[in-house]
Structure 1
Amino acid sequence: MGATLADRPEIADTLVLKRRGLTLGLLTLTYFFSFMDRQILAILLEPIKADLQLTDTQLGLLSGLVFAIFYATLGLPIARLADRTSRKKIIAASLAIWSVMTALCGVAQNFTHLLLARIGVGVGEAGSGPPSQSIIADLYPPEKRASAMAIYSLGVLLGGGLGIMIGGNVAHAYGWRAAMMVVGIPGVILALIVWMFVAEPRRGLSDVQRVAEQEHDAAMPGMWQGFLAMLRNRAAVYLVAAMTLTSLVGYALTGWGPSYMQRSLDMTMLEVANYIALPAAFVGGGSALLGGMLADRMAKQYGIHTQAWVISMMKLIAFPFAVSFFFFDSKPVALTAYFVSLIFAGVYIGPTYALIQHLAPLRLRAMWAALTLLTVNLIGLGIGPLAVGQLSDALAPAYGEESLRYAMLAVAMITPLPILFYWRAGVLMKRMARVD
């Protein structure tokens, strides 16, 4: 009988690496659909509120907590499965599920219907992030991983921006229900393409030395062991805490940003969709790519710990511009501050994911990604938009339509904490490198 690819792992590895670019592209496109389906709600909040007679608190629940609970918690068992079985099949199946559920949001007749459909979106999207990050970490070595993760993170920035643009234009012409269906249905087709063409690399393919060091340990660590391993790694804890708080602010501001522009800057839904969403997506995307390349260059010259310091410095520069956005009534001045903040704000995503994958044990990469996403989404996505909605409702008697401005500003003031945490993570990683 002839030899199979299983008998010749070096041939299988070569074939997988030849499809590395295609795989990264498809995973990025999947992430794009994930955030497009997730963030389209931001531009549709106002028409949904008017149609279904909802409060800002209910809108905050739909945007954040309800979605996040299922998205974050189901990520752990799915990641456990991904560390043992085919990651690309999990990603493809998950994509099909959340795409169908996004389309079903368009037929909701009340808050409960929309709530159940959003739960379905969260259930589906739980199976995308951890296995995708695990595949990318196996395809790209440490010195190229931040750039690869930065490309992957374009899905967040472009998906959110284009979701708002597409959703706003379709909703303007045909209503918010049609917008949900338009962004949901194409994902089913992409799921088939992912199933057929994404490469499934060998675990630790791009970490030859670490594979050699860990090959004596044949036992697969359990979920609790994975959690304890992350908890014992202080640098990882600071990274997760920093990313969680950054995401809390980010989800709160992006989730309510279109509503704020309509309420306080006197912009229409169509203006936000056409003149803000797409430029913001490309500025943020450029920030992510340049941030990934800068992080890889700094890591090569001065050590991988400097990637955390790059993030800290970029966030420090962005902070005053992000906050000043809420102090100006002039539309040109406010939007200028907003776009300047975006130039630096998108840097953190790729390098943070890359650093966590660098610190994770090889057999726990998907699990550590899921644990990161658990806190990022349960706290960041779950609490951020809901906190703004509740604060806005509480401040409404005193500030009326301007209550949203002060609610968003209050959440934005959390930013100095993750700046400090990223810096601390870099310090700890530098110490770890000296010990090694």
Structure 2
Amino acid sequence: MTTLAPSFPTAAQARRGVACIATTGFFLSMDITLTTLLIEPMKREMGLSDIQIGLVQGTAFGIAFGLSSVPLGRLIDKGNRVRFLGIGLLFWIAAMVTTGAASSFLTLIFARLVLGCVAALLIPAAFSLIADLYPPEGRSVATSLFVVGQAAGQAFGILVGGLAFDALTAFQNAHPGAVLDLPAWRILFIGAALLGLVPYLLLARVKEPARQEQKEHHATAIGAVRELWTYRRLLIPLLAAMLFTQVTMQATSVWAPPVLTRQFGLTPGQFAGWLSAIMLAGGMLGALAGGRLGKAGQRQGGNRRVLMPAMIASLALIPLSLFGVLPTIPLVALFLAGNIFAGAVIATLGVIAITLNFPNEIRGLALGSNVLCSTLLGTATAPAAIAMVSKAMGGETMLGFAIAGLCAPAAVLSAICFFLAMRQGTTPQDGRGTTSAQRSLTEARG
């Protein structure tokens, strides 16, 4: 079985492509922090409970994200990824408008289901495109740039969303009935939807790159799953590590603003500036550090060593999960910054490990499997689980202790799984435990 010779785009074409993809990630990641930032005024107007917040923020989004990730990942392996990103953007715009116009809890759930499907399309499509724009030696840094775009978008959502919310609220208090008589949080969601037209227009200038590192014969859907299974010694612990990391990161992305509002009495505008700054700095620096560390690890010890910094970052998340029980705002900010930095390092390195170790024909499926495990078992369950643990411990005032009680053990398990992934190696294994990759791939395509 021969592999087709790679023919990557020019450096200028690759840079333009990554810039457009990163811009798409920037805008589509705004919904994550914008919803988190505005969840308290949404809660007050719509009469939501903490458990309902967890269902909206985590469960609905995570279930849609997870269940659609594998079929969408397989679709991405076969179709035009740039076109899929454009379609996803249109659905994102519609879902953000629906959120801003929602009149019930079920409408919010529906909008989050759509946003989950869009995210399941965006992430594997973006990373698959990047892998075909750059050869393996340049892939780590290019991948980190997309994560930087996502981090910048999340910070933008916090900063602009928080400041705009306070400004709109003050304006409406002074001028009742102004701006269509809509609450400030609804106006912000509709405004964010309109901004989604920017990346849609930019994507029209991106050309679908040729697929690289392909075999002459392509696996069927069943054959692709079988081929993916030959990498199970790396795949299973890696997916488990990313799952446990997602549990810890959900505490930050969903519950940090409520902690600041409830524990310190801050409004969104009062913490939007510094929270967006640490989200931007932590996310960008973590993504860039992950790319550099992954490249250095690959040079020193091969593809397995890419995951060593991820294991170290997981260990750092153990104490950092205590941010919700700290007594002062500066300490909370410091721990949140470390949390975001470590999470970005891990997210970047996990994706890099997949793009380096899995062939093109199953790369989207592998990325989709990562999304499935992380979101269906992490994003979908962690926010609601934290809310239920907090309620069982005594109510909303115990939110910080519930975060620490769930996230610290998850960080320990993440570090253990990264260690196992590094030790298992990446050589495909057949059902009899041999190391004959050729025999496994031939059977898979049969």
Q: TM-score, normalised by structure 1?
A: 0.88
Q: 1:259-318 CA deviation, whole Å, 9 max, x = no partner?
A: 111111332221221221233222221121022112202211222211111111133234
1:198 matched to 2:206:
yes
* Counterpart residue type for residue 157 of structure 1: A
1:236–1:58: structure 2 CA closer, same or farther, 3 Å change rule?
A: same
Contact 2:317 2:411 in 1 (8 A): no
Q: Match for residue 415 of structure 2? A: 419
2:277, 2:97 → 1: CA distance? 22
Which runs of 5 or more residues in structure 2 are unaligned?
169-183, 430-434, 438-446
Q: Match for residue 385 of structure 1? A: 383
The number of aligned residues is 411
1:335–1:39: structure 2 CA closer, same or farther, 3 Å change rule?
A: closer
Shift of 1:378: 1.2
Contact 1:167 1:180 in 2 (8 A): no
Q: After superposition, where does 1:14-413 map in structure 2 within 5 Å? A: 17-174=11-168, 175-194=184-203, 196-204=204-212, 207=213, 211=214, 214-215=215-216, 218-222=217-221, 224-233=222-231, 234-320=233-319, 322-395=320-393, 398=394, 400-413=395-408
1:327–1:37: structure 2 CA closer, same or farther, 3 Å change rule?
A: closer
Contact 2:159 2:273 in 1 (8 A): yes
Contact 1:36 1:159 in 2 (8 A): yes
1:147, 1:137 → 2: CA distance? 11
1:157, 1:366 → 2: CA distance? 22
1:15, 1:68 → 2: CA distance? 35
Q: 1:99-149 CA deviation, whole Å, 9 max, x = no partner?
A: 221122111112122222222222333321112111111222222222211
SS of equivalent to 1:372: helix
Contact 1:72 1:378 in 2 (8 A): yes
SS of equivalent to 2:425: helix
1:230, 1:266 → 2: CA distance? 50
Which runs of 5 or more residues in structure 1 are unaligned?
1-8
1:178–1:86: structure 2 CA closer, same or farther, 3 Å change rule?
A: same
1:16, 1:91 → 2: CA distance? 22
Shift of 1:245: 1.2
2:280, 2:388 → 1: CA distance? 27
Greater alpha carbon shift after TM alignment, 255-264 vs 294-303:
294-303
* Counterpart residue type for residue 70 of structure 1: A
SS of equivalent to 1:106: helix
2:316, 2:68 → 1: CA distance? 36
Contact 1:150 1:349 in 2 (8 A): no
* Counterpart residue type for residue 290 of structure 2: G
Runs of 4+ in 1 over 4 A off after TM superposition: 12-17, 430-433
Shift of 1:21: 0.7
Contact 1:265 1:329 in 2 (8 A): no
Give the share of equivalent positions with the same residue, in percent. Answer: 25
RMSD value, Cα: 2.4
